[in-house]
Amino acid sequence: MASRSPQPSVAAGARGSAGDPAIVVTGLEKSYGEVRALCGVDLSAERGTVLGLLGPNGAGKTTVVRVLTTLLKPDAGTASVVGLDVVRDAAALRQRIGLAGQYAAVDENLTGLENLTMVGRLYGQRRPRAKQRGQQLLDRFDLLDAASRPVKTYSGGMRRRLDLAAALVAKPEVLFLDEPTTGLDPRSRLALWETIEGLVAEGTTVLLTTQYLDEADRLADTIAVIDHGLVIAEGTSDELKDRVGGERLEVRLDDERDADTAVAALAPMSDERPLVEGAVVKLSVRRRQGSIVEAVGRLGEAGVGVDDLALRRPTLDDVFLALTGHAAAEAEEEAA
C-alpha cells in the first residue's frame, strides 16, 4: 500500500495532496466478454480543470467513468484520482469524489431534502449536519421551493439538478459527470453549464463525458477525443481545431454538377482533397489572407458559378471528422 510513498507511515488520506494531478490514467483496458470497451486509455487532468471526454455512443466514455469512480475494476492499466489508486484505495477515494450521471440517480418517492440528507448521512454526516447541507444545496440549485415534494413531481431539469446536488454533498475534490445534459432542453442545459462553471471556479476538478461538441467546446479545458475504446486525440479545443489545419472554406455552387470541376480548381489551395456535400464544396485552406479572392478567381477561370462563399474557424465537428474519417453521428454505421 505504501509502495509509492517515500514515507511508509503516511496514511492513505494524507497522500495525494496538492501538487499531484487530479486524475492520472495509464493503459486502461476493460472488456465485457468479447467486446473490448477500453483498449489502453491514457488520460490526465490537472487540479481545478475540466477534462472533457468526447466521443460517440459506445466509445467507452462511461466505462472510463465507472472505473474512475470505483464501480468497475479494470482488466489492465492503472488509474488514480487525487493520488489514490481506484482499486487499492477505493474506500478512501469514495470519500473524495462525487458522481452524477445521465440517469438522475435519486429516489423518486423521497423528497428533494430527504434524498440529500440520506446521501449526506451515507457520507458519514450526522443528521442535523446532513440536513443543513441539503438545505444549502437546494437553495443553491434553486430547488428550495420543491424541497419537501417527492421527486416524482419534479421536471427532468429539476431531477438532474438534484442529482448534481447529491454528488456535491460531501464537497468532492473531483466531480465525475457522465453526459450531464443528455436529454435536457436547451434552457436547462445552459443553466447546468453555468453551474458546472461555477464549481470549477471554486476549485473543483471535473471530468465530463459528452457526445456534444459544443458542450466540450464550452466547458472543457482539455478535450480527449475517444472512439472505439481509444483516445485518438487530446488537447485544448484550439489545439484540436488547429490540428485539422487552419480555416475552412465553404463554397456553395450554383449547380451541383459543377462539383468535380470546382474540386479540381480549388485543390491547389489545400493540403487535402476538398470534400463535396451536394452543392457545397469544403476545404481547409493554408492561409486566411486572400483566400476568398483566390477562390473566386480560380472558380471564375474554371467557369463555375458560385452561389455563396464563406470562410470560418474549424469547429469540433471538423475535428471529429478529420480524426475519425466520419462525422460523430456516422460512427455507429461505420462500426457495423
10 is an interface residue for other proteins by CB under 8 A: no
Question: In this complex, which beta carbon is closest to other proteins, that of residue 114 or of residue 258?
Answer: 114
Query: What's the rounded Cα separation, in Å, for the pair 114 and 110?
Result: 6
Q: Which of 124, 183, 297, 305 binds other proteins (CB under 8 A)?
A: 124
Q: How many chain residues interact with other proteins (CB under 8 A)?
A: 28
Among 23, 41, 50, 97, indicate the residue that binds other proteins (CB under 8 A). Answer: 97
Q: Where are the alpha helices (DSSP H) in the chain?
A: 61-68, 90-94, 112-122, 127-140, 156-167, 186-201, 213-219, 237-243, 259-266, 291-302, 316-324, 331-335
Per CB under 8 A, which region of 114-122, 196-204, 224-232, 244-252 contacts other proteins? 114-122
Calculate the CA 208 to chain-centre distance: 4
Among 44, 49, 95, 135, which residue interacts with other proteins (rule: CB under 8 A)? 95
Please pick, from the candidates 16, 55, 60, 101, the single residue that binds other proteins as defined by CB under 8 A.
Answer: 101
Q: What is the DSSP letter of 111?
A: B
CB-nearer residue toward other proteins: 49 or 95: 95
Nearest to 229 by CA among 31, 85, 24: 31
Residues 78, 85: contact at Cβ < 8 Å? yes
Q: For residues 162 and 149, give the distance between their C-alpha atoms in angstroms, rounded to a whole number.
A: 12
Residues in contact with other proteins, shown as a per-residue x/- string from 158 to 177 under the rule CB under 8 A: --------x-----------
CB of 131 to other proteins, least distance (A): 13
What are residue 38's DSSP bridge partners? 30
> 25 or 97: whose CB is closer to other proteins?
97
Contact in structure between 312 and 248 (CB atoms under 8 Å): yes
Options 3-11, 41-49, 115-123, 272-280: segment touching other proteins (CB under 8 A): 115-123
Q: Give the interface segment with other proteins, choosing from 104-112, 132-140, 216-224, 253-261 (CB under 8 A).
A: 104-112
Subset of 29-88 contacting other proteins (CB under 8 A): 66, 69-72
Q: Among the candidate windows 39-47, 103-111, 215-223, 252-260, which touches other proteins by CB under 8 A?
A: 103-111
Grid look-up 489572407 returns 289
Assess 17 for contact with other proteins (CB under 8 A): no
Pairing mode of beta strands 76-81, 84-85:
antiparallel
* Alpha-carbon span 198 to 168, nearest angstrom: 13
- Least separation in angstroms between residue 218's CB and other proteins is 25
Q: Which residue reads 473543483 in cell numbers?
A: 204
Q: For 202, what's the count of Cα atoms within 13 Å in the CB-facing half-sphere?
A: 12
Which residues would be at the binding site for other proteins (CB under 8 A)?
66, 69-72, 91, 94-95, 97, 99, 101, 103-110, 114, 118-119, 121-124, 150, 166
